[in-house]
């Protein structure tokens, strides 16, 4: 969700994780689409497949069980909503929106 939200706000953004899923979570897509965020081109990426050194800031949503061996500028310490109801995805999306506005 963070990648789509940040891009709509004018940032060059890329989301990646240490253990990416096979596809973007359907609830995340539904929340993004309900808020008119483009989901075009979104797909799960491994941190190993992203040139993270080319970005000005590396923001972690929350390390969970495995933190990557990269320089993290900010850790937002958000819970992964993966198995939660859609309302939790909506809450996380609002938090991400607010935190990006504060950058």
Check which CATH number belongs to the domain holding 64 and give it: 3.40.50.2300
pLDDT attached to residue 72: 86
Whether 73 contacts 59, CB under 8 Å: yes
Q: Could you report the per-residue pLDDT of 15-59, keeping only the tens digit for each?
A: 998 888 999 999 999 999 999 999 999 999 998 899 988 999 999
Q: What is the reported pTM?
A: 0.89
Q: In terms of residue numbers, what domain contains 63?
A: 2-102
Chain position carrying tokens 């939200």: 5
As for how many domains the chain has, the answer is 1
In whole angstroms, what is the distance from residue 40 CA to residue 85 CA?
23
Helices 86-102/26-34 angle, 10° precision: 60
Q: Could you report the per-residue pLDDT of 56-103, keeping only the tens digit for each?
A: 999 998 865 566 678 888 989 998 899 999 999 999 999 999 999 998
């Amino acid at each position: 969700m963070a990648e789509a939200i940040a891009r709509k706000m004018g940032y060059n953004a890329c989301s990646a994780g240490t253990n990416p899923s096979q596809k973007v979570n359907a609830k995340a897509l539904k929340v993004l689409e309900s808020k008119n965020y483009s989901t075009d081109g979104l797909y799960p990426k491994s941190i190993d497949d992203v040139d993270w050194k080319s970005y000005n800031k590396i923001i972690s949503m929350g390390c969970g069980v495995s933190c990557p061996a990269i320089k993290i500028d900010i850790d937002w310490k958000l819970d992964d909503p993966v198995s939660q109801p859609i309302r939790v995805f909506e809450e996380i999306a609002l938090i991400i929106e607010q935190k990006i506005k504060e950058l």
